[in-house]
Amino acid sequence: MSGAAEGQKGAKQGVARGITRATLLKDLRLEWRSKDAINSMLFFSLLVVVVFSFSFDPSAEESRQIAGGLIWVAFLFAAVVALNQTWARELRNQVLDAYRVSPAPPNSLFMAKVLGNFIFVAVLEALMTPLFIIFYRLRAIGPAWQLLLVAAFGTWALVVNGTFFAAMSIRTRSREIMLPLLLFPISIPAILAMVQATAGILTGEYSARFWIVLLATYDLVFTTGCLLLFETVLNAE
């Protein structure tokens, strides 16, 4: 590739990054003003923690066994609330059409939405994890730092697919129902990996390494797939 062509490609990538940043900041600003997504997610997760803690009274050992599943299912359901909001703002007043008629690359919009959702869900996780630890008396026996990797890769898996399928369902009448119907089946391998990795780290019974690598691979494959297909989804009629 010649220097000029490389320079042009670099400039295009710079523009795309700039638009991603601008769109992300716009979404964060809108969320800061409305707090639509974060409030619903927090309330939902809080309910799950409280209801489950009253429904069961597990021992510390049992808590370590079930906490992985409980935490991730709670975050998955809560994430759906945020993911359903992702495109709602773009549909109000048909603002999405203003993006479509502009020269901005579709993938910049997609990446901005994914990053925005990642931040929202990460904030939720940061706020809710201490409550899970208190209510379920959790203490990791395995290497606790690996939980950060599981959280990062797991959250990315949820939001990248969630953002993509939320975009797919925006033109359907019952999009709130469509999103879980599309998202949950495709997320099963990621959920399995998240739950197994978390349980492995909390109980210390087995290494979570395989599951973390699986999650990272899942993220790579689905992020690539979503980026390749997003333009088609965005322009679908």
Partner 1 sequence: MTDNAPVITVHNLIKQFGRFAALRGVTAEFAGGKFYAILGDNGAGKTTLLRTLAGLNEPSSGQVEILGSRRFREICREVGYMAHPSLLYDEMSGVENLAYFAQLYGIEAPGRGAEVIAAVGLDATLTRPVGQYSQGMRQRMSLARALLNDPKILLLDEPFSNVDLRSAREMVRLLAGLKDQGKTIFVVTHQASLLEGAVDEFVWMAAGKIVGRTRELTPPEPVA
Residues that bind partner 1 (CB under 8 A): 15, 18-19, 22-23, 26, 29-30, 33-34, 89, 92-95, 97-104, 235, 237
Shortest distance, position 96 Cβ to partner 1, whole Å: 9
Amino acid making up residue 170: I
Shortest distance, position 168 Cβ to partner 1, whole Å: 17
Cα angle 20, 22, 27; round to 5 = 95
Residue 8 or 217: the one with the smaller Cβ distance to partner 1 is: 8
Shortest distance, position 10 Cβ to partner 1, whole Å: 15
Structure tokens at 149: 């990797």
Residue 13 or 34: the one with the smaller Cβ distance to partner 1 is: 34
| Residue 200: its H or E element | helix 175-203
**What is the Cα–Cα distance from 126 to 140, expressed in whole angstroms?**
17
Residue 38 or 76: the one with the smaller Cβ distance to partner 1 is: 38
Let me know: does 161 contact 121? Beta carbons within 8 Å: no
Distance of alpha carbon 102 from the chain centroid: 27
Let me know: does 67 contact 136? Beta carbons within 8 Å: yes
Shortest distance, position 80 Cβ to partner 1, whole Å: 22
Residue 167 or 193: the one with the smaller Cβ distance to partner 1 is: 167
Shortest distance, position 147 Cβ to partner 1, whole Å: 36
Residue 14 or 204: the one with the smaller Cβ distance to partner 1 is: 14
Shortest distance, position 58 Cβ to partner 1, whole Å: 43
Residue 109 or 183: the one with the smaller Cβ distance to partner 1 is: 109
First-to-last CA distance in the chain? 37
DSSP H helices in 56-174: 60-86, 88-91, 95-100, 106-135, 146-168
Let me know: does 114 contact 225? Beta carbons within 8 Å: no
Let me know: does 218 contact 157? Beta carbons within 8 Å: yes
